[in-house]
């Protein structure tokens, strides 16, 4: 790439701010609610709390807990609260990471180290992860870094993992099984109990990726809806991940990786002392970490509390129900599978659903897609409760537009053939 010279003279913040605002003019407008992907929006008040807490500690370094005992306390309390939500016990342990990718990475490290110490992997083989096709790409990324490999197994007809197929994919180099709660593409919780039973029977590490659902599923259950067992309360689950910066509504980047006990967590600890300064030790991939993300996560958890999360989850479910009912009432659309969380996968029935997506984008919506099968992928937020009616109206109109155009195209084909 071409190089750029450092500016010869510094610029005033007022000028820089204007230039940055202009640069951001084409960015995703998540504040409007017209985006249904890649944003997790609670309320302006929650954002204010996160921003203020972040600012207070943004220059402090999470690498040095002895120098910043406040950050050590914030991290430990955030992890403990998360463990309490996700079936943890008195001996559960965990770490605050920078995101779901790092949380899943640390679980892969632990699984690999356990297998190494047990001499599980035959000579000439690499440690192997068996995961559903719907598992997040972060497992393949971790395998690439860690000298592992991933066997992705086809899922069932409604998008849930197939435990029997995963069991058949296990070989003598397999060290880890993965399930999602929920999976990103379809929003459905995998049969975690069955996958964990396979793992336990064969002495394999079992990880649950709950980055999307960790801070929705417990509250969905408290609101009276059925949620399949998915967390550390399930026998055989060794670790799980949950993102604070998704539906925990904390500032990026903050996630938690939980372990059934301290011994499992200790497998992720890196130590080194063969250098002039002395001992260096971490329990995450990163070294220096801003204290801002740690303090903001702690502040948002305490600001919202259980009643705040229940209220926000209720608003998401309100939007979920309204949009799902509208989709069910449109003959040419449907919901794929049985989503358990705030993810709605909309498929076409005799209509090009990607053409519908384009028609929605023409109406000002930012639309996410999945390709297998073709899906309009809605990742709902609390603010969508206020604009669900508008979304539904535009969706009906978009379907009508696509149907009219495809009808006109068929009419032209018939005329030409005649």
Q: Examine the pLDDT at 104 and tell me if it is beyond 70.
A: yes
Q: What is the mean pLDDT of residues 127-154?
A: 97
Q: Do 240 and 259 sit in the same domain of this protein?
A: yes
What was the pLDDT predicted at 159? 94
Look at residues 277, 302, 327 and tell me which one is the last residue of a structural domain: 302
For the record, the structure tokens of 140 come out as 């393949």
Do 106 and 196 sit in the same domain of this protein?
Answer: yes
Residue with the bigger pLDDT between 410 and 347: it is 347
Same structural domain, 298 and 312: no
Q: Which residue has the tokens 């979920």?
A: 320
Q: What is the model's pTM?
A: 0.93
Burial 311-350, CB ≥16 within 10 A → b, else e? ebbebbbbbbebbbebbeebebbebbbebbbbbbbbbbee
Assign 38 to helix, strand or coil: coil
Predicted pLDDT at 412 = 38
Q: What is the pLDDT of residue 333?
A: 96
DSSP 290: B
Q: What percent of the chain has pLDDT over 90?
A: 84
Mean pLDDT of 168-175: 97
Residue 345 has pLDDT above 70, yes or no: yes
Confidence check: pLDDT of 236 > 50: yes
* 388 and 272 share one domain: no
How far is the C-alpha of 129 from the C-alpha of 241, rounded, in Å? 16
Tokens 């790092």 appear where? 102
| Structural domains in the chain (count) | 2
Question: Does some domain include residue 25?
Answer: no
Let me know whether 183 and 241 are in one domain: yes
In the prediction, which pLDDT does 66 show? Answer: 85
Q: State the residue for tokens 């180290």.
A: 113
Residues 3-14 have pLDDT tens digits of 999 999 999 999
Residue 351 is part of a domain; what is its CATH number? 3.90.1150.10
Confidence check: pLDDT of 38 > 90 = no
| Mean pLDDT estimate for the chain | 93
Kindly state whether residues 295 and 319 are assigned to the same domain. Answer: no
Distance CA 348, CA 332 (A): 6
Mean pLDDT of 246-260: 95
Interhelix angle 291-328/69-85, rounded to 10 degrees, is 30
pLDDT at 407: 63
Q: What is the pLDDT of residue 340?
A: 85
Q: Quick one: average pLDDT of 160-171?
A: 98
The tokens describing 304, both together, are 């919202």
Both tokens of 35, joined, read 């985006």
54 part of a folded domain: yes
Residue 331 DSSP one-character state: T
pLDDT higher than threshold 80 for residue 324: yes
Judgement on whether residues 139 and 235 belong to the same structural domain of the protein: yes
Is there a domain that residue 293 lies in? yes
What number is the average pLDDT over the span 267-292? 90
From 284, 302, 320, the end of a domain falls on 302
Mean pLDDT of the region 134-144: 97
The total of other beta-carbon atoms located within 10 Å of residue 397's CB is: 13
User: Using CA atoms, how far apart are residues 190 and 290, in angstroms rounded to an integer?
Assistant: 34
**Assigned domain for 331 exists:** yes
206, 335: one domain: no
Question: For the residues 78-86, what does the mean pLDDT come to?
Answer: 97
Q: Which two tokens stand for residue 348?
A: 């076409």
| Boundaries of domain holding 391 | 306-417
Mean per-residue pLDDT, 183-188: 95
CA R_g for the chain: 23
Give yes or no: residues 409 and 337 share one domain. yes
Query: Across residues 211-232, what is the average pLDDT?
Result: 96
Q: Which residue has the tokens 């329990």?
A: 283
- Which helix (H) or strand (E) is 305 found in, with range? helix 291-328
Residue 80, pLDDT > 90, answer yes
Could you write out the DSSP letters of every residue in 198-259? HHHHHT-EEEEE-TTTTTTHHHHHHTT------STTSTT--EEEEETTTTT-PPSS-EEEEE
State mean pLDDT over 285-293.
Answer: 89
- Joined together, the tokens standing for residue 398 give 């978009």
Number of CB atoms found within 10 A of residue 379's CB = 21
Q: Can you point out the beta strands (E) in 6-142?
A: 93-97, 128-132
């Amino acid at each position: 790439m071409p190089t750029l010279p450092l500016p010869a003279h510094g610029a005033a913040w007022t000028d820089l701010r204007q230039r940055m605002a202009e640069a951001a003019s084409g960015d995703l407008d998540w504040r409007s609610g017209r985006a249904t992907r890649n944003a997790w929006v609670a309320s302006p008040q929650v954002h204010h709390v996160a921003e203020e807490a972040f600012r207070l500690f943004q220059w402090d370094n999470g690498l040095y807990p002895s120098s910043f005992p406040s950050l050590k306390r914030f991290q430990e309390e955030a992890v403990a609260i998360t463990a309490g939500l996700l079936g943890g016990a008195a001996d559960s342990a965990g770490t605050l990471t920078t995101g779901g990718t790092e949380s899943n990475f640390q679980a892969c490290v632990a699984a690999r180290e356990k297998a190494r110490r047990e001499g599980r992997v035959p000579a000439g083989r690499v440690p192997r992860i068996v995961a559903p096709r719907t598992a997040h790409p972060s497992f393949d990324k971790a395998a690439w870094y860690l000298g592992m490999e991933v066997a992705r197994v086809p899922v069932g007809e409604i998008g849930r993992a197939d435990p029997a197929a995963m069991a058949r994919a296990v070989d003598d180099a397999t060290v880890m099984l993965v399930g999602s709660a929920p999976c990103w593409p379809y929003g459905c919780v995998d049969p975690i109990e069955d996958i964990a039973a396979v793992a336990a029977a064969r002495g394999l590490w079992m990880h649950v990726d709950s980055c999307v659902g960790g801070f929705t599923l417990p509250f969905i259950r408290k609101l009276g809806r059925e949620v399949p067992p998915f967390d550390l309360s399930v026998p055989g689950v060794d670790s799980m991940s949950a993102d604070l910066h998704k539906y925990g509504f904390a500032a990026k980047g903050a996630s938690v990786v939980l372990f059934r006990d301290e011994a499992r967590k200790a497998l992720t600890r890196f130590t080194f002392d063969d250098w002039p300064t002395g001992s260096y030790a971490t329990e995450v991939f990163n070294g220096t970490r801003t204290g801002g993300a740690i303090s903001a996560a702690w502040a948002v958890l305490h600001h919202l509390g259980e009643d705040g999360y229940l209220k926000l989850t209720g608003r998401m479910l309100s939007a979920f129900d309204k949009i799902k009912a509208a989709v069910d009432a449109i003959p040419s659309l449907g919901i794929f599978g049985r989503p358990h969380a705030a993810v709605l996968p909309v498929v076409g029935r005799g209509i090009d659903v990607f053409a519908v997506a384009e028609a929605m984008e023409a109406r000002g919506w930012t639309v996410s897609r999945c390709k297998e099968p073709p899906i309009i992928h809605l990742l709902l937020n609390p603010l969508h409760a206020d604009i669900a009616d508008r979304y539904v109206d535009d969706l009906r109109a978009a379907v009508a537009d696509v149907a009219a155009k495809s009808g006109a195209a068929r009419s032209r084909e018939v005329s030409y053939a005649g």
